[in-house]
A and B are shown apart, each in its own frame.
Chain A
Amino acid sequence: MSESPPILALKDVCKAFGAVRALQDVSLELWGGEIHALAGENGAGKSTLVKTLAGVHRPDEGQVLLDGRPVEFHGPGDAQQAGVAVIYQEPTLFPDLSVAENIFMGRQPRSKFGRIDRGALRAETAKLFERLGVALDPDRPARGLSIADQQIVEIAKAISRDARVLIMDEPTAALSGNEVARLFTVARTLQDQGCALLFISHRLEEIFDLCQRVTTLRDGRYISTELLDGLTADDLVQRMVGRELDTLYPKQETTIGAPVLKVSRLTREGVFTDVSFEVRSGEIVALAGLVGAGRSEVARAIFGIDRYDAGSVEVGTVELSGGSPTTAMSAGLALVPEDRRQQGLVMEGSIERNIGLTQLRSLRRGPVISRKVERDRAADWAIRLQLKYGRLSDVVGVLSGGNQQKVVLAKWLSTEPSVLIIDEPTRGIDVGTKSEVHRLLSELAGQGLAVLMISSDLPEVLGMADRVLVMHEGRLTAEIPRDEATEETVMAAATGQTRQEDVSGRASSGQRSAGSEATEVTKEDGALGAREPRSRQRAQGGRA
């Protein structure tokens, strides 16, 4: 190790929130010129650690050391002054302000008399975006940006600080392969300049790709710090989980029955066009594609959250009128949304309340809701899904990501649906719980449920799906049966490189769009480049 002390370090830090001990005696050293990984399951305390470094939380015990000397950050402002920049897991943007203002808030370039120099503000933002290789208008408001673009703005914000320490809490979750590559280039440049970096990701292959050392946390406790060289993905997983994992994708053989969900020629102007497919009972169909391809939007339209302009949706023999989630639910549809916190759960509500939410009518005893029935029902589901919780009256917000997902699942499964649409079932869920969710989905399909699974996680798609549908820019570009689905075939279709003859199955939109697709490829070469398959990086990761 070098002579000089680490730029930023934590020493024996403890932090508790009420009864929950988020961090216990955790130490971490961030050296200049090194990219350090932080590994751990959800709820292991990674985000708390990040927020302690960022000055959001103050440690109950232990010290934060800056250049070897103890410091006390009284707020995020202090940490920023000390040269610490953070990319938070969840974008923290000002929707009403422009993208440029978002990036430079509090540090705007000034002209005479301390006014904001708008020209310089715009130019510097454009320069940052060029460095990151993205085409975003600096003047547009942050409202309405896709998650990926929000994350890009977060990254631009952090690197514009010229920080000595850059902390990245899951920056890549929503990014495309090309954007990830750009981010890594920037990170390595900073590393060469002597900055200290901390990187958090659920994708182990990214950790191996980018970082030199790794610190592992488990249940708020420090487990180890070691060089990544010579370590395998399995070693790392084992340190995170503390036990060996069973097979990652426990797909059961199922008997596939009659079509339950029929979607034909569904179109919502400007969002998706001419989408047709079927899902049969007992079948898991994956809807793959890049972020922004319109997959979630299709799901929302099917479920009646958004209206559609043309086409039809049938569940069983009932044709849905569209635009009404209530009808969709009574027809037997259930939707587990992508964003648990915003759309799936009442975060301040208790576990039992959340589970009972879809079933308020059947919970009634007379005109009022029976707390007892609600509790019994919730307890039943908690056992069936192996939910880990303290009490059923606990607030959902305190559960880990994986357990929150189980609550959402319980909530929807209690409606006894015939079709389950699940959007990104394991996003932000740790490795251990991930396979539990997969086992659960597989079991449900085994019991005859039709499952439509939207996922950006390619191994998950390949491991779980009986059939893979691929979307590209609002159109269905391929339908691939399980035994033909590989990373190459799926990614080719997702990036719009499919030719007509490659389209197997009956992807009706394939034929119509094939011609225009080809011209789009040349026209939007840049944009397509930005959508390079993530699979290539994934393939290098040991486990995937």
Chain B
Amino acid sequence: MAAITADTGGRRFVDTVLRARELSILAALIVLVAVTTAVNSSFLSTQGVKDIFLNASILALLAVGQTMVVVTRNIDLSVGSVVGLVAFASGKFVAGHDRNVLLVLVVGMLIGAVCGLVNGVLVSFFKVPALVVTLGTLYVIQGLDYYWAHGQQINAADVPASLLDLGNGSVLGIPYLPLITVVVMVAVGYYLRAYPSGREFYAIGSNPDAARLAGIAIRKRILTAYVVSGVLAGLAGVLWLARFGTVVADAAHGWELKVVSAVVVGGVAIVGGLGSVYGAALGALLLTTIGSVLVVLKVNSFWQDAIAGALLLLAISVDRLLALRVTRALRKRNARHGA
């Protein structure tokens, strides 16, 4: 019986470590906000907070989609260019017409879905490494977008008021954007945790060979992950248009790395199998907040990328360290209580 209590102890330790990740991001956020507010009290104004949440929403949305892909031990680098393409495409779609907002959303997500499908098929059926495939589609989609835009831009004046309202309006004082993100995050998070097929994403990332032997439909799941990531990137593209109104061809340029950073900072293991969408979304919030803090503290915005990079390295080092610790803790329990 001693073995059982020891095992429980081991599990508790592991649980604590996993939960600690989300908690430590929260703690970092609180410290960051507290310090900044102490320096500049206007930071915590209603408008300030609202801005942070609005800015974080799109990044968090992308991070949720990216999480599904990364958990299966893959990566989607094309999301940034999909956002740019969809933002521009839906701008073209609505310009001068009074389109229904839902229709615009559907069109945007369809475009995203097609991009995701291409990635997914190449990765899962043709077994091309995800890094190469999505790097390729990143440039192809970007190229298409630039070619199409040809230096034009979408102006807020062309975008119907109903769509702009989606990006800047609110219900009961809560802006739509974070609301949409939270709904998507909770839905995806719940699916991944509570449904058998959701767990299979983790299984695939944790040990692909074992997943094959367990009869898991690996290709289908990886395809799904990419399509979800694409659809969410499409949604993010429409929201981008709704939020900013003015869109040039290279909207969200370079965001893929921001998204990946957010996901990794949020505790999703880059080698798959571990992490939650909640952590990823928190990671997005943290990165966005740092961006705002730098503005408030009048730090040159060039530093933002460097800080995001440093945070990424820190997150990965902490992950590695914790993984070693956890493994050792579990082993120790084994050694003490036989086999």
Q: Which residues of A contact B (CB under 8 A)?
A: 54, 56, 75-81, 86, 88, 92-97, 101, 105-108, 110, 114-116, 135-137, 139-141, 143-146, 148-149, 176, 270-271, 290-292, 294, 297, 473-474, 523-524, 526-527, 530-531
Additional pairs, 7, CB under 8 Å, beyond known A93-B210, A143-B327? A77-B217, A114-B195, A137-B4, A140-B11, A144-B10, A474-B336, A530-B338
> Do B330 and A143 touch across chains, with their CB atoms under 8 A apart?
yes
Asked whether B196 lies within 8 Å of A108 as measured between CB atoms, the reply is: yes
A106 touches B210 (CB 8 A): no
When each residue 54-75 of chain B gets 1 if its CB lies under 8 Å from chain A and 0 otherwise, what string results? 0000000000000000000000
**Interface presence of B326 (CB below 8 A):** yes
Report Cα–Cα, A145/B332, bound state, in Å.
10
Known: A92-B209, A92-B210, A95-B206. A144 touches B339 (CB 8 A): no
Q: What B residues does A148 contact at CB under 8 A?
A: 339
Q: Check B215–A77 contact: CB distance below 8 A.
A: yes
CA distance A292 to B333 in the complex (A): 11
Q: Are A105 and B195 in contact (CB under 8 A)?
A: no
Residue of A105, A135, A473 touching B4 (CB-CB under 8 A): A135
Query: How many Å from the CB of B238 to the closest CB on chain A?
Result: 30
Q: Closest approach, in angstroms, between the C-beta of B223 and any C-beta of chain A?
A: 16
* Complex partner residue of B215 from A75, A135, A290, A292, CB under 8 angstroms: A75
User: Does B127 reach chain A (CB closer than 8 Å)?
Assistant: no
Task: With CB as the reference atom, state the residue of chain B lying closest to A140.
Answer: B11
A292 and B213 contacting across the interface, CB-CB below 8 Å: no
Question: Which of B117-125, B197-205, B313-321 touches A?
Answer: B197-205
Is B339 a contact partner of A105 (Cβ separation < 8 A)? no
Docked-complex contact B207 and A94, CB < 8 angstroms? yes
B3 touches A135 (CB 8 A): yes
Whether A94 contacts B203 by the Cβ 8 Å rule is yes
With most chain B CB atoms within 10 A of its CB, the pick from A79, A97, A290 is A97
Verify if B216 is at the interface (C-beta below 8 Å from A).
yes
Give the residues from 8 to 31 in chain B that come closer than 8 angstroms, CB to CB, to chain A.
Answer: 8, 10-11, 14
20 A-B pairs in the complex with CB atoms less than 8 angstroms apart: A80-B215, A94-B202, A95-B207, A97-B203, A101-B203, A105-B200, A106-B214, A106-B215, A135-B7, A137-B4, A137-B8, A140-B14, A141-B14, A146-B331, A271-B335, A292-B334, A292-B335, A292-B339, A294-B335, A297-B335
Chain B contact residue count (CB 8 A cutoff)? 45
Kindly report which residue of chain A lies nearest to residue B327, judged by CB atoms: A144
Q: In the complex, A474→B202 CA distance in Å?
A: 35
Q: Give Cα A386 to B210, complex, Å.
A: 35
Say whether, besides A96-B274, A116-B195, A149 and B339 are in contact (CB < 8 Å): yes
**Closest CB of chain B to A133's CB: distance in Å?**
12
**Residues of B contacting A78 in the complex (Cβ-Cβ under 8 angstroms):** 215
Minimum CB distance partner of B209 in chain A? A92
Residues of B within 8 A of A290 (CB): 338-339
Report whether B273 and A94 are in contact in the complex, using a CB–CB cutoff of 8 Å: yes
Contact of B202 among A86, A97, A108, A176 (CB under 8 A): A97
Cβ-defined contact, B339 with A96, below 8 A: no
Do A270 and B215 touch (CB < 8 A)? no
Output the least CB separation between B14 and chain A (Å): 6
CA distance A114 to B217 in the complex (A): 18
Residues of B within 8 A of A527 (CB): 2-3, 337-338
Q: Note all chain B residues with C-beta closer than 8 A to A137.
A: 4, 7-8, 10-11
- Asked if B194 lies at the interface with its beta carbon under 8 angstroms from chain A, I say yes
Residue numbers of B with Cβ under 8 A of A are: 1-4, 7-8, 10-11, 14, 194-196, 199-200, 202-203, 205-207, 209-217, 269, 273-274, 326-339
* Residues A97 and B199 in contact in the complex (CB < 8 Å), given A140-B7, A140-B11, A144-B327: yes
A94 and B11 contacting across the interface, CB-CB below 8 Å: no
Min CB–CB distance B141 → chain A (angstroms): 32
- Chain B: which residue is nearest A81 at the CB level? B215
Q: Which of B11, B209, B338 has the largest number of chain A CB atoms within 10 A?
A: B338
Instruction: Name the residue on A nearest B212 (C-beta).
Output: A76
Q: Complex Cα distance A86/B213, Å?
A: 9
Given the known inter-chain contacts A94-B206, A97-B203, please indicate yes or no for A105 contacting B14, CB distance below 8 A: no
Instruction: Judge whether A94 and B335 touch: CB under 8 Å.
Output: no
Closest 8 pairs (CB-CB, A-B): A144-B330, A77-B215, A137-B7, A92-B210, A96-B273, A94-B206, A292-B339, A96-B206
Using Cβ atoms and an 8 Å threshold, which residues of chain A touch B330?
140-141, 143-145
B332 in contact with A76 (CB, 8 Å): no
Closest to A136 in B: B7
Residues on B with beta carbons closer than 8 Å to the beta carbon of A271: 332, 335
Q: Which residues of chain A are within 8 angstroms of B273 by Cβ–Cβ distance? A: 94-97
Which A residues are CB-close (under 8 A) to B2?
523-524, 527
Question: Which one of B217, B326, B339 contacts A176 once the chains associate, using CB atoms below 8 Å?
Answer: B339
Q: Name B338's contact: one of A76, A77, A116, A292 (CB within 8 Å).
A: A292
- Given the contacts A96-B206, A137-B7, A144-B326, A473 and B338 also touching, CB distance less than 8 Å: yes
Q: Which residues of B are found within 8 Å of A54, using beta-carbon distances?
A: 213
The minimal Cβ–Cβ distance linking A213 to chain B, given in whole angstroms, is: 27
- Once bound together, how far apart are the Cα atoms of A56 and B212, in whole Å? 9
Q: Given that A271-B332, A473-B338 are contacting pairs, would A101 and B199 also be in contact in the complex, using a CB cutoff of 8 Å? A: yes
Q: Closest CB of chain A to B64's CB: distance in Å?
A: 19
Chain B residues lying within 8 Å of A473, measured Cβ to Cβ, are 336, 338
Report chain B residues within 8 Å CB of A75. Answer: 212, 215
B42 to chain A, nearest CB (A): 44
- Which chain A residues lie closer than 8 Å to B4 at the CB level? 135, 137
Residues from chain A with a CB closer than 8 A to the CB of B328 are: 144
Residue in A closest to B336 when the chains form the complex, CB atoms: A270
Q: Which of B328, B330, B339 counts the most A-chain CB atoms under 10 A from its CB? A: B339
Pairwise interchain contact A106-B216, C-beta atoms closer than 8 A: yes
Contact call A110/B196, Cβ cutoff below 8 A: yes
Are B215 and A116 in contact, with the CB atoms below 8 A? no
CB pair A474 B335 closer than 8 Å: yes
Contact among A76, A136, A141, A146 for B213, CB-based, below 8 A = A76
User: In the assembled complex, how far is the CB of residue B132 from the closest CB belonging to chain A, in whole angstroms?
Assistant: 20
C-alpha gap A145/B7 in the complex (Å): 11
A51 to B327, CA, bound (A): 31
Contacts of B211 in A (CB 8 A): 94
Closest chain B CB from A323 CB (angstroms) = 15
By a CB distance below 8 angstroms, the chain A residues around B212 are: 56, 75-76
Which residues of B have CB within 8 Å of A101? Answer: 199, 203
Check A116–B11 contact: CB distance below 8 A: no
Contact B194 A143 (CB under 8 A): no
- If A77-B217, A95-B273, A292-B334 touch, does A115 touch B327 (CB 8 Å cutoff)? no
Contact of A270 among B1, B210, B332 (CB under 8 A): B332
Please give, as numbers and ranges, the residues of chain A lying within 8 Å of B196 by CB-CB distance: 106-108, 110, 114, 116
What residue in chain B is nearest A56 (Cβ atoms)?
B213
Q: In the complex, are the beta carbons of A105 and B3 less than 8 A apart?
A: no
Determine how close the nearest CB of chain B comes to the CB of A411; give it in whole angstroms: 26
Return chain B residues, CB-CB under 8 Å to A145: 330, 334
Contact among B200, B215, B216, B334 for A146, CB-based, below 8 A: B334
Is there an interface contact between A97 and B206, defined as CB atoms closer than 8 Å? yes
Q: Kindly provide the distance from the CB of B200 to the nearest chain A CB, expressed in whole angstroms.
A: 7
Instruction: From known contacts A96-B202, A290-B339, A526-B1, infer whether A115 and B11 are also in contact, taking CB-CB under 8 Å.
Output: no
Chain B contacts of A79 at CB under 8 A? 215
Q: CB within 8 A of A143: which of B3, B205, B217, B326?
A: B326
On chain B, the residues within 8 Å of A95 by CB distance are 206-207, 273
